[in-house]
Amino acid sequence: MKRGTWVVVLLLLLLAAVPPLAAIFNEPFYLDLFRRIMIFAIAAASLNLILGYGGMVSFGHAAYLGIGGYAVGILSHYGIDNGVLQWLLAIGASALVACVIGAISIRTSGIYFIMITLAFTQMLYYLGVSIEEFGGDDGMRLTMKSQFGGLLDLNNATLFYYVVLAILALVALLIHRLVHSRFGMVIRAARSNEVRTHAIGFSPYGYRLVAFVISGAICGLAGALFANQTGFLTPDFMHWTRSGEIMFMVILGGIGTTAGPVLGAAVLLLLEDRLSALTAHWQIILGPFLILVVLFARRGLAGLFLREGRDG
Amino acid sequence: MNAILIIEQALNGLQLGVMLFLMAAGLTLVFGIMNLVNLAHGSLYMVGAYLATYFAQLTGSYLLGALLGLGGTLVVGMVVELIALRTLYERDHLDQVLATFGLILFFNELVAILWGRNAIYSNLPEYLTGHVELAANLFYPLYRLLIIGIGLLVAALLWYIVTQTRIGMLVRAGASNRTMVAALGINIRLLYTLVFGLGAALAGLAGLLSGPLFAVQSGMGEQILIQVFVVIVIGGIGSVRGAFAGAVIVGMVDTLGRAFLKPTLATIISPAAADSAGPALASMLIYLLMAAVLAFRPQGLFGGRSP
C-alpha cells in the first residue's frame, strides 16, 4: 500500500480505539468530541473532493450541513422518525440544492465562485432564520434521534460512534476511488489546466457539476449526523464562519489528500476544545494561528507524512 | 400603500445603497489593483464604528469622534496591510480567503475584549436628530439624508480621483498591468498601501456613519460584508462604476422588498401565507437577483471594463 493509505488506515484504527479508551478512563466527553470530529471530517472530506481535487473554492459548504440537519429536523417535526427516510432526504435535498447552486456558480471561476457560494449559503441561512415554523433564529429541538427499527439505536453513544466511523471510512474510500477513476482524472485535469482539458475533448462543466453535487450530498449526510449529534438545530449550522472552519480543516490537514480532512478536523476541534478551556477569548489565538498556517504551512499536516506530489 | 411611504422607503433604499457603495468601492479597488480578496474589509467597518463611538464618548464631540475614528481606521488598515496582507498578494485566492478569515476572528475577539460582547450605542448630537420636510407631509430623518449626501459626494470624489488625477491613472494602470507599472519606475508597494488605506478609510466611514443607526457590536462587519459581495458580483469585480450601480440596485431591492413584498403578496395569496412567505422571500431577494444577473452576465454588469 502507498504511504497515504497507511496514514488513513492508521487514523481510522486510532479513531476506533477511542470508545474503549474513553470507557477505561471514564471520560465519556471524549466519545462525544471525537464523534463530532469524525462528522466534521466527513464534511471536510466532501469539501476536499471539489476544493482539493477540483480546485473549486466553495466558501459555502455549511449550507449542505444545514440542509442535511434540517431534513432530519423537519421530518422529525412532522413525526417521521424513520432514519432511513431522514438520511435519504438529507442526501437528496443536499444534492438538489448543490445542483442548483453549482449550476450557477460553476459558470464562473476564481473570486466570483468564492463570493457566490458564500452568498448562496448566506441566503439559506436567512431563510432558516425567517421560517418561524421551524424555530427561526432560535432553532428547534430534535424530539428523538433518527430511528432504525430495532436494528440500530443511536441513543447508544458507542454504537452511534461506530456508525459515524463506518460512514467516515466509506466516504474516504468512495472519494479515493472517485478521484482515481476516469471521472476524477478529468476533474483534476480541469483544475490544473482547463484549456488543455478542452483541447483533449472534455468539457469540464458537467464533470465539475457532478463533483459538486456528490460533494454536497456527502456533506448533507454529515449534516444529518450532526443534527443527531447535537439533538438540536439552528440556522447556525449554516453560518458562514462554519463554512470557513470546514475550509480551514481541509487546508490545515492537507489539501488534496485522503488523510488531510480527518487530520484537519481532529487538530482544529481539539485545539478549539483546549483553547476554549483556557480562555473565553480563544478566537484571538485561533485567528493568528490560522494566518500563520496559511503563510507558512502550505501543504498542511499531511504534508509532513507524504512525499511531494505523490500519494493522495 | 401611498406615495409618501414609497418615497420614504426609496430614500431608505438609497441610504443603504450609498452605505454599501462606501464598502464596495474599497473592496473592489483592492481586488482590482492588488488582486486581493479581503474578507476582513468588514472588520475595518467594525473598527471604524467602534473607534468613532469610543472617541465620541471620550471627547464628548460627535464630529471629533468621527474624524478620529476615520483617521484611526486608516491607520489600522495600513498597519494590517503592512503586517499581514502584503505577503498575500502573490498567493492564490484560497490562501487570501483563509488568512483574512483569520483576521476577522482576531478583530471580532479583540473588540469583544476591549469593549465587551454587548452592543454599545453611539448617540447622535442634538443638531443631527431632526427631521426634514421634503414635501408636504413627507418628513425624513436629517441624519439619513446626511448619509445619502456624504455617500454621493464620496462617489463623485472617487470618480474624479480615478478618472481625472495622476494617482487615479496609476490606479487604473496598476489594475491592468502591475508589472509594467512597476517597470516604469512607479513605487507599486507604496501605491498598494495607499489604495488599501483609502479602502480602509471608506469602510471606516461606512462603519462610523452606521453606528448611530445600528448597534455597534462584535461581528457587525460580516453582516454587511456579504451584502457587499453581492453588490460587487452584480456590478462586476474591480469596477467602481459597477460597485455604485450594484450598491444602489441592491440597496433598493433589499429595502423595498422588505417593505412591500408582504403586502403585495397578501393581495395575491392568502394573508397568512404571505405572512410567512413574505419575510423569507424578502431576505432572499438580493441573492436571487445576483443569481439572475449571473445567469445572463457571469462577469457582472460592468465587469471586464476599466475601473
Give residue limits of the domains in chain B: 3-296
Q: What are the CA-CA distances from residue A47 to residues A213, A247, B134, B141 (Å)?
A: 11, 7, 53, 47
Helical (H) or strand (E) element with A140: strand A140-141
Q: What is the pLDDT of residue B150?
A: 93
Q: Please say whether the beta carbons of B236 and B301 come within 8 A.
A: yes
Q: Which amino acid is at B1?
A: M
Q: What are the CA-CA distances from residue B198 to residues A2, A166, B44, B154 (Å)?
A: 52, 53, 11, 12
pLDDT tier for residue A95 given thresholds of 50, 70 and 90: very high
For chain A, say whether B62 makes contact (Cβ under 8 Å): no
Distance CA(A217)–CA(B75), nearest Å, equals 45
Residue of B nearest to A126 (CA): B283
CB contact (8 A) between residue A114 and residue B93:
yes
For chain A, say whether B21 makes contact (Cβ under 8 Å): no
Q: How many other C-beta atoms are found inside a 10 Å radius of the C-beta of residue A116?
A: 27
Joined grid coordinates for residue A266: 481532529
For chain A, say whether B223 makes contact (Cβ under 8 Å): no
ipTM summary value: 0.84
CB contact (8 A) between residue A110 and residue B93:
yes
Distance CA(B130)–CA(B140), nearest Å, equals 9
Distance CA(B51)–CA(B67), nearest Å, equals 10
Q: How many other C-beta atoms are found inside a 10 Å radius of the C-beta of residue A241?
A: 16
Residue B1 has pLDDT above 70, yes or no: no
pLDDT in tens, A75-85: 988 888 888 89
CB contact (8 A) between residue B230 and residue A119:
yes
Distance CA(A40)–CA(A128), nearest Å, equals 21
Joined grid coordinates for residue A102: 453549482
Give residue limits of the domains in chain A: 34-239
Pairing of strands A147-148, A152-153: antiparallel
CB contact (8 A) between residue A107 and residue B298:
yes
Q: What is the pLDDT of residue A312?
A: 43
Residue A306 has pLDDT above 70, yes or no: no
Point out the residue among A104, A247, A291 whose CB comes nearest to the CB of B84.
A291
CB contact (8 A) between residue B106 and residue A295:
no
Residue B307 has pLDDT above 70, yes or no: no
pLDDT in tens, A53-89: 998 999 989 999 999 999 999 998 888 888 889 999 9
Instruction: Return the exposure string of B273-301: e unless at least 16 CB atoms fall within 10 Å of the residue's CB, then b.
Output: ebeebbbbbbbbbbbebbbebbeeebbbb
Q: What average pLDDT does chain B have?
A: 86
Lowest mean pLDDT among A217-231, B104-118, B283-297: B283-297
Strand partners, A233: A140
How far does CA A265 lie from the centroid of its chain?
Answer: 9
In this prediction, residues B82-98 reach a mean pLDDT of: 85
CB contact (8 A) between residue B294 and residue A108:
yes
Distance CA(B189)–CA(B92), nearest Å, equals 19
Domain at B3-296: CATH code: 1.10.3470
In this prediction, residues A158-162 reach a mean pLDDT of: 91
Q: Where are the alpha helices (DSSP H) in chain B?
A: 3-34, 41-59, 62-80, 93-115, 142-164, 166-176, 178-183, 188-210, 220-235, 240-268, 271-296
The conformation of residue A240, written as its DSSP 8-state character, comes to H
- Contacts of residue B105 in chain A, CB cutoff 8 Å? 241, 283-284, 286-287, 290
Min Cα separation A1/chain B (Å): 31
SS3 B205: helix
CB contact (8 A) between residue B97 and residue A288:
no
Instruction: Return the exposure string of A259-297: e unless at least 16 CB atoms fall within 10 Å of the residue's CB, then b.
Output: bbbbbbbbbbbeeebebeeeeeebbbbbbbbbbebbbee
Helical (H) or strand (E) element with B135: strand B131-135
Joined grid coordinates for residue A199: 483541447
pLDDT in tens, B177-228: 778 888 888 888 888 888 889 999 999 999 999 888 888 888 888 888 888 9
Q: Which of B34, B43, B87, B106 to mutate to test the interface with A (most CBs of A within 10 A)?
A: B106
pLDDT in tens, A175-189: 999 999 999 999 999
Positive/negative CA dihedral, B63, B67, B68, B72: positive
Joined grid coordinates for residue A131: 421560517
Q: Please say whether the beta carbons of B239 and B32 come within 8 A.
A: yes
A interface residues, B as partner, C-beta within 8 Å = 51, 57, 59, 104, 107-108, 110-112, 114-116, 118-120, 122-123, 126-127, 129-133, 240-241, 244, 247-248, 251, 281-284, 286-291, 294-295
